[in-house]
Structure 1
Amino acid sequence: MPPKPPINYVVQPTPSDYFISRGNGSEEMNFGAVKEYGDFVPNDRMYIHSRAAAPKLDVAAWRLHVGGSAVAEPRSFTYDELLALPSVTLRRVLDCGVNCRAFFPKVSPYGSLKWLPVGWTQWHFGAVGATEWTGVRVKDVLDAAGLEQAANAEFISLDSITTTAGKLPYSQVIAIDKVLADDTLLAYEMAGEPMPIDHGFPLRAIFSGWGGNSAVKWLGRIEVSKDPLPLSHFQRNQVLAGPDYPEEILATVGPVRSALELAENITIFPGDQTLHGRAWSGAGAIQQVEVCIEREMAPGRWMTVWDPAWRAAKLLHEAEPMMWVRFEIGWKNAEPGHYRLMTRATDEAGRIQPPPEEMVWNQHGLGYNGHAPLELSISPMSNMP
């Protein structure tokens, strides 16, 4: 018998105009299309990262089970019971913890055989998006179940992922202070519509400012513990580890990042240009964005176009915590040639995107936020077909 075709983990269409496929279940948002969007990415254009096929659920029969040693009255909530609780709507970026992973060196620069080549999904800039999330605060749900003194909680999906330890549901163990934060939600809507299947229908967790890996989809159970629970199986690959990390550190708060609203390696016409982009941070609002343009003068030799090399961009609206801000900058008399463009954002916590050579390598390719260059060409109009 011929082998069975692989199961497609993504349900919705993902046309190449709007997505770059990074493997089954991993659909990156094409930043070249982002110029069409306002503050929010349309639901059917948001990046997708699914580690397994969406579970087949009947929302009428679905339940969210809440229990554990720190819950006095374990109970199950129906979808309608959750909708009846006070709702909260937040504008938030969802940024994958390994967004920009492709810009890390694949093999450890330290030459040690202990550190393996960085594998998994090779995201560029587009494993990110922003929308309006509506749901119920986790703390309200836990209070309804009689929350007691707790250390942390495990959020457990209804999916089934093949791992080295067998079939497991995806899960995340989260410290109780983050669990009970006012902006930690169990979201059932995106942009005013029921949560799409690819994004976790009927319910997903949203931990504001934290990497998208924490935002458990297809949520089915929350276990709250008096004693600290160990990291889940999946979180073992979500820690900063490498020669510069004496101890492993769980990656949580998203780094400061930015990107131009351009497809990679495009060709444009010469003349005056206005460049647009977006910047975001898991630690707070963006304070400043700068842009640098370099022209290739000879193979491997680059010269800055501006003096000084970095110029401040104009923020197009007031920056919000944990929401991206749109920016623009003019480029006068852009001449034919090959260029690389870099953006550098600063957030209100004082974090600045570092040069790529200053990025600290880690085994799992987490948290890359160096101002990696985006290359483009400007072709003489007379040579254009």
Structure 2
Amino acid sequence: MPKPPEPNFVVQPTPSTYFTNRGNGSEEMKFGPVAGYGDTVPNDRFYIHSRAAAPKIDVATWRLHVGGSAIKKPRSFRHDELLELAPVTLRRTLDCGVNCRAFFPKVSPYASLKWLPVGWTQWHFGAVGAAEWKGVRVKDVLQAAGLGTAVDVRFTSLDSIVTDIGKLPYAQVVPLAKAIADDTLLVYEMNGQPLPIDHGYPLRVLFSGWGGNTAVKWLGSIEVSSEPQPVSHFQINQGMDGPDYPEPMLGTVAPVRSALELNEDLTLQPGDHTLHGRAWSGAGAIDHVDVCIEHEVAPGRWTAIWDPPWRPATLLHKPEPMMWVRFETTWENATPGRYRLMTRATDDAGRTQPRPEDVVWNQHGLGYGGHAPLELSVLPLTNFP
């Protein structure tokens, strides 16, 4: 018998004007429309990354179970009980750990039988968004359940994901210090609205500054242990492993990244253009952004249009920690031709986006932070015959 069709992992409409489909459950935000969004991305335009269909949850019967060897009074919280705890609202960028994966070389620079081509979802710039998140601190919930001496905390979803070892719920194990940080939240609202289904309704966790892959959706349980816990199956597959890594390491803090508010491979007219973009970092606030534009003078040969090649951009508002900042620069007298545009951000921790050739390759394609080029064309005002 033919295999039944896979259910659609995404609930909301995702029109191609605003999204690029990267496979079932993977809807990348196009950067062109971002120019009209303001500081945050509307809920129905925010990128989506779901590895399974959303579980069917009745909030009236849903419970968040909190237990484990480091919890003195294990208990289950109703949704309304969480709403009674002190609310916290944060503006944060949520940047998927595999954002920009498509810009990695497909095969390790030190190719061998061990290192396979980088596969999985080929995200470009748009597996990222920013929102105003409202919820309660994980710390407050754990203290309400009698937090004792703890080491690790496991956050587990109510979803069911097909893996090579069977169906598993998505889970992340994090150190206690990160779990009880003041800016680690159990989120129930996004931009002033109840958390949408595609983003984890009724509850997800948000680890400020960490990759979106850690922000477990459809949260069902929290287990706090007095001993170290093994990382989940999914964290193993999200580890950075490659010829330049002595040991595999987990991706946590999101890298410095930036992107122009332009759709890829678009066409512009000659003349002056004001270019806008956004830059963000998981380690803090953005300090400054530079822009470089190169002209293709022969097939595969590019030369910078400015001297020096990188020009400082203007930040349009005061940068906030772990929240993207808008910037702009002027491109004067663009002439017909093929161009590639690059943005290079630096955060207040001193981290700068490296050249693409200097990005450390890893097997799973996590944490790309290079200033990857965006190509476009400038065409004359008159049409060719």
**TM-score, shorter chain, exceeding 0.5:** yes
2:39 match: 39
In the aligned structure 2, how far is the partner of 1:297 from the partner of 1:376?
14
The CA deviation at 1:68 is: 0.1
2:134 match: 134
| SS of structure 2 residue aligned to 1:140 | helix
2:25 match: 25
In the aligned structure 1, how far is the partner of 2:383 from the partner of 2:348?
46
The C-alpha deviation readout for 1:222-264, integer Å capped at 9, x for no partner, is 0000000011010001111111100111110000000000001
Structure 1 segment 195-210 matched on structure 2, within 5 A: 195-210=195-210
Letter of the aligned partner of 1:366 in structure 2? Answer: L
Query: 2:13 aligned with 1:13, yes or no?
Result: yes
In the aligned structure 2, how far is the partner of 1:5 from the partner of 1:313?
48
The C-alpha deviation readout for 1:326-376, integer Å capped at 9, x for no partner, is 000001111111000000000000000000000110011010010000000
Structure 1 segment 125-164 matched on structure 2, within 5 A: 125-164=125-164
The TM-score normalised by the length of structure 1 is 0.99
In the aligned structure 1, how far is the partner of 2:229 from the partner of 2:74?
18
Letter of the aligned partner of 1:26 in structure 2? Answer: S
2:382 match: 382
In the aligned structure 1, how far is the partner of 2:259 from the partner of 2:198?
24
2:365 match: 365
1:212 match: 212
| SS of structure 2 residue aligned to 1:296 | strand
Percent of paired sites with the same residue: 74
2:324 match: 324
1:103 match: 103
Specify every segment of 5 or more residues in structure 2 that has no aligned partner in the other structure, as ranges: none
| SS of structure 1 residue aligned to 2:224 | strand
In the aligned structure 1, how far is the partner of 2:245 from the partner of 2:111?
16
Structure 1 segment 235-384 matched on structure 2, within 5 A: 235-383=235-383
| SS of structure 1 residue aligned to 2:241 | strand
The C-alpha deviation readout for 1:30-88, integer Å capped at 9, x for no partner, is 01111111000000000000000000000000000000000000000000000010000
- Name the count of aligned residue pairs: 385
The C-alpha deviation readout for 1:184-208, integer Å capped at 9, x for no partner, is 0000000010000000000000000
In the aligned structure 2, how far is the partner of 1:141 from the partner of 1:232?
22
In the aligned structure 2, how far is the partner of 1:113 from the partner of 1:48?
34
The CA deviation at 1:2 is: 4.8
Letter of the aligned partner of 2:30 in structure 1? Answer: N
Higher mean C-alpha deviation, range 41-50 or range 240-249: 240-249
Letter of the aligned partner of 1:15 in structure 2? Answer: P
In the aligned structure 1, how far is the partner of 2:119 from the partner of 2:336?
37
Letter of the aligned partner of 2:13 in structure 1? Answer: P
In the aligned structure 1, how far is the partner of 2:227 from the partner of 2:6?
41
| SS of structure 2 residue aligned to 1:246 | coil
Structure 1 segment 78-117 matched on structure 2, within 5 A: 78-117=78-117
The CA deviation at 1:135 is: 0.1
The CA deviation at 1:26 is: 0.3
In the aligned structure 1, how far is the partner of 2:111 from the partner of 2:352?
28
The TM-score normalised by the length of structure 2 is 0.99
The CA deviation at 1:3 is: 3.9
Letter of the aligned partner of 1:243 in structure 2? Answer: P
In the aligned structure 2, how far is the partner of 1:60 from the partner of 1:144?
21
Letter of the aligned partner of 2:358 in structure 1? Answer: E
Specify every segment of 5 or more residues in structure 1 that has no aligned partner in the other structure, as ranges: none
| SS of structure 2 residue aligned to 1:35 | helix
Letter of the aligned partner of 1:290 in structure 2? Answer: D
The CA deviation at 1:384 is: 7.5
Q: Root-mean-square deviation (CA), in Å? A: 0.9
In the aligned structure 1, how far is the partner of 2:244 from the partner of 2:333?
44
2:62 match: 62
In the aligned structure 2, how far is the partner of 1:258 from the partner of 1:152?
32
In the aligned structure 1, how far is the partner of 2:67 from the partner of 2:282?
29
| SS of structure 2 residue aligned to 1:20 | strand
Letter of the aligned partner of 1:195 in structure 2? Answer: L
In the aligned structure 2, how far is the partner of 1:111 from the partner of 1:338?
32
In the aligned structure 2, how far is the partner of 1:241 from the partner of 1:188?
34
In the aligned structure 2, how far is the partner of 1:227 from the partner of 1:55?
30
Letter of the aligned partner of 2:53 in structure 1? Answer: A
1:229 match: 229
The CA deviation at 1:5 is: 2.0
In the aligned structure 2, how far is the partner of 1:95 from the partner of 1:53?
21
In the aligned structure 2, how far is the partner of 1:116 from the partner of 1:102?
15
| SS of structure 1 residue aligned to 2:382 | helix
Letter of the aligned partner of 2:286 in structure 1? Answer: I
| SS of structure 2 residue aligned to 1:135 | strand
The CA deviation at 1:4 is: 2.2
In the aligned structure 1, how far is the partner of 2:64 from the partner of 2:40?
28
Letter of the aligned partner of 1:17 in structure 2? Answer: T
The CA deviation at 1:305 is: 0.4
In the aligned structure 1, how far is the partner of 2:37 from the partner of 2:339?
26
In the aligned structure 2, how far is the partner of 1:64 from the partner of 1:349?
36
